[in-house]
Amino acid sequence: MRALFALLALLGLAGVVLGVLTMIHGARQEPFKFENYGGPGPIIGGLLLMAVSAYLFSIWPRLGYNSRRSSLR
């Protein structure tokens, strides 16, 4: 599961990068219009996905920790 959380964090980072690239691409067009740049959605979604996956990654128990703990009983 920890690998899945790391993968989700990478997907969130990709969303942030795509959002920034979309904003840069929209800002280069003449004339600049607010409707054309649409970058905040992927950026906010990516940041949220990175934050949630980092939290889950930090609290999820490691596999080695559980196997050692059960063998001590």
Closest alpha carbon to 48 in 1, 2, 20, 8: 8
Residue with tokens 């990068």: 17
Q: What is the DSSP string of 2-70?
A: HHHHHHHHHHHHHHHHHHHHHHHHHHHSSS--GGGT--HHHHHHHHHHHHHHHHHHHHSPPHHHHHHHH
> How does pLDDT run across 16-41, given as a tens digit for each residue?
999 888 888 776 666 666 565 666 88
Kindly indicate the confidence band of residue 72, based on its pLDDT and cuts at 50, 70 and 90: low
The mean pLDDT value of the chain amounts to 79
Choose between 48 and 30: higher pLDDT: 48
